[in-house]
Amino acid sequence: MTTSKEQSLIAEIKPELFLFETEEINAETPAHLLDDDITPARLLFVRNTGRTPFFSDAEIAGWGLTIEGEVNAPRSFSLAELRRDFEIVNQTAVLECAGNGRAAYADPTPGPHWRQGAVGCVRWTGVRLADLLAACGVRPSAVYTAHHAPDVGVNNDGPAISRGLPITKALAPETLIAFAMNGEPLPHIHGGPLRLVAPGYPGSAWQKWLTRIELRDREHDGERMTGTHYRMPRRRILPGEAFDAVPFDVITDMPVRSVITSPREGFAAPADEPLIVRGHAWSGHIPVERVEVSTDDGATWQTATLAPAGERFAWRRFEIALNAPRGSLAILARATDAQGNSQPLGSAVWNPRGYCNNAAHRVTGSVG
């Protein structure tokens, strides 16, 4: 179970979140608290894969980032050098755990059974990883990054997680080394002093407490990078089916998704006025095209108003006024991206770790 120090930390800074009874910190935001266009730090979910590291003021003051491996000139950068020597950029981007929606799978999978709240949209501040790599000189042999941090597994048995990015994503302009979020220094619980920001990729690729990046000449094979960790099967598999011989690929793009933030689950709405349904929609690298809402289990759909597109990796608000009938009511919301991919009504294709279940969000309540 989480340590008393970790539990106290969440209770102090995120009292409105739901804390799972897991060995590491996993705290989810109830869907109705995700209504802000920019998620406040106090409402952003937390997903750890090991023990939360704690640092002294001296350790934070001396924090740095080393880049090595398939580069011409390995270098280390202090926090001050990152701020002084490179362009500082701001970017709004959705952070989402690959297991968001895992609770909707009928067949159990390991990991915290997130409902809809392992997601948030944050304003990140930092420097482009591409600029740091340019300062080191990327060799033609570099094909993948490897990320390293001081957090260890719950049994103190080695690194908690060490994932990486294809070199094309590492060099993409949206990939940042962040030291601030929402205009404030990056909170410790969210990876401060430094974390990687890889918009469109699952949160597992956004390494927290980052100290070292190694460029490799092959796909990285660090902790939680191999096997079925943060990977999806190339062909459909069913619960209980042997999958040892099935090829799996690293998740590099999160699917289209939406969340209803109002009304909340269990709502009681008056019958003499329109029922306003609103929320947010987002996708990995493919823009969201539309959001639809249904009150008859998907038999018919009404198109919601979608806010104008802003930054590429930010979520978009949707809203619609419904003339809802009296009685019990279930509201479904589904988003569709620019390539025509829509959220399914039921659980997405099953996989042994419950990743990327982007089923349409359902909220139930009553009108009358």
Tens-place pLDDT, residues 27-74: 999 999 999 999 999 999 999 999 999 999 999 999 999 999 999 999
Q: Look at residue 67 in the predicted model and tell me its pLDDT.
A: 98
CATH code of domain 257-367: 2.60.40.650
Q: What number is the average pLDDT over the span 347-355?
A: 87
Write the single-letter amino acid at 102: R
Which tokens is 233 given? 């099967």
Q: Look at residue 311 in the predicted model and tell me its pLDDT.
A: 97
Q: How sure is the predictor about 347, in pLDDT bands with cuts at 50, 70 and 90?
A: confident
Residues of the chain with CATH 3.90.420.10: 4-250
Q: What number is the average pLDDT over the span 172-190?
A: 98
Q: Which CATH superfamily is 4-250 part of? A: Oxidoreductase, molybdopterin-binding domain (3.90.420.10)
Q: How many Å apart are CA 317 and CA 260, to the nearest integer?
A: 10
Residues of the chain with CATH 2.60.40.650: 257-367
Cβ neighbours of residue 365 closer than 8 Å, sequence gap 6 or more: 263, 264, 265, 266, 267, 268, 269, 328, 329, 331
List the single range of 2-6, 99-103, 179-183, 207-211 with lowest mean pLDDT: 2-6
φ, ψ at 283 (rounded to 5°): -150, 180
- Cα torsion 311, 316, 317, 319 to 10°: value is 130
* Phi/psi-derived region of residue 230, left when phi > 0, alpha when psi is between -120 and 50, beta in every other case: left
Q: How many Å apart are CA 299 and CA 210, to the nearest integer?
A: 48
Q: Look at residue 349 in the predicted model and tell me its pLDDT.
A: 78
- Judge whether residue 246 has pLDDT over 80: yes
- Judge whether residue 107 has pLDDT over 90: no
**What's the length of the chain?**
368
Q: What number is the average pLDDT over the span 108-131?
A: 96
3-state secondary structure of 90: strand
- Spell out the long-range contacts of 186-189 with Cβ–Cβ below 8 A and sequence spacing 24 or more: 187/13, 187/41, 188/54, 188/55, 189/9, 189/10, 189/13, 189/14, 189/25, 189/46, 189/52
DSSP conformational letter for 25: -
Which helix (H) or strand (E) covers residue 169, if one does?
A: helix 167-170
- Judge whether residue 294 has pLDDT over 80: yes
Span 302-325, pLDDT tens digits? 999 999 999 999 999 999 999 999
For the whole prediction, is pTM greater than 0.95? yes
Cβ neighbours of residue 106 closer than 8 Å, sequence gap 6 or more: 239, 347
